[in-house]
Amino acid sequence: MVVDAKAAEERQTDLLFKALGDPTRRDILGRARDGELSVSALARLYPVSLAAVQKHVATLERAGLVTKQRRGRETVVHAETEALHRARAALDRLESAWRGRIDRIDKILDQPENGDQQCL
Amino acid sequence: MPVTDVQKDLDALMMTITAEFDASAERLWQIWSDPRQLERWWGPPSHPATVTDHDLSPGGRVAYYMTSPEGQQYHGWWKVEEVEPPTRLRFEDGFADDQGNPNPELPTSVATVTLSESDGRTTMAIESRFSSREQMEQTIEMGAEQGMKEALGQIDALLAS
């Protein structure tokens, strides 16, 4: 439904603004865009705990700005490029639209077949 | 929720959504092939669709408009590419001007629907693909919430500062 799509998009926008609203997270994102970095290497750059850096990375990940990958004992952070981010946003909207349609189809199928005319 | 799977290919600009229904493939085909049924689900409840042309044959055209709560009409069209009842439908989906004529300046996407029945249940997979990156960008510009547009436009600026 359009309402669901809108709500989902607003949630995603909130996550995006929240993620970008913190200088440390912006710095992490900027560095990740220059090249992949491990979480532990990032933690050495800031006067905060490893757990705090992990939390920052998780916030960026929820907003779709970075992805994490395990490599051996390390967790590596990749920045999602602007183009990929935009593609994801567009495909997310397509998904919302089709989820709404599929729900409506399911409701139509639940109704008796000859009731198709009356229930708009 | 009948949706069982969603796949996104960010490079191919393609999304595939799969859903399972407690109905035969014939029954599901009707929701596409009967314009009166199609208009009950194509548009969101706030913008119900009215189907004015409906020729589900290769090269055929489907025309519709959706009506907003304020009474504004948004016209759209399909150009049917492949039809194999009751298992496969492929069409290009685009926007039209107020007279219902396809507007070549607005983005299009291509949808491929496949239906497969097993034990009285039917799986419907819909693959939807933007025709190009430019078209995808246009779709964001046209439909996205203002907040999302602003957020997307600010990422690079914020990082550059």
**Residues in chain B within 8 Å Cβ distance of A103:** 1-2
Q: Under a CB-based contact definition with an 8 Å cutoff, are residues B92 and B75 in contact? A: no
A26·B137 Cβ contact <8 A: no
User: Closest to A86 (Cβ–Cβ): which among B19, B42, B137?
Assistant: B137
User: Domain spanning B3-130 has what CATH number?
Assistant: 3.30.530.20
ipTM of the complex: 0.88
Task: Map out the domains of chain A with their CATH numbers.
Answer: 2-110 (1.10.10.10)
- Contacts of B88 by beta carbon, 8 Å cutoff, 6+ apart: B82, B112, B113, B114, B115
Cα–Cα distance, B96 to B72 (Å, whole number): 14
Q: What is the pLDDT of residue A2?
A: 47
Structure-token pair, residue B54: 């409906």
Q: What is the pLDDT of residue B143?
A: 60
Per-residue burial over B57-92, b = 16 or more CB atoms within 10 Å of its CB, e = otherwise: eeeebbbbbbeeeeeeeebbbbbbeebeebeebbbe
Q: Which of A78, A96, A105, A108 should we substitute to test contact with B (largest number of B Cβ atoms within 10 Å)?
A: A105
B15·A95 Cβ contact <8 A: yes
Among chain A residues, CA nearest to B36: A117
pLDDT, one tens digit per residue, over B141-157 is 766 555 666 666 666 66
pLDDT, one tens digit per residue, over A36-78 is 889 999 999 999 999 999 999 999 998 888 989 899 989 999 8
Q: What is the pTM of this model?
A: 0.75
Cα–Cα distance, B24 to B118 (Å, whole number): 8
Q: What is the pLDDT of residue A18?
A: 87
CB-based contact, A22 to chain B, within 8 Å: no
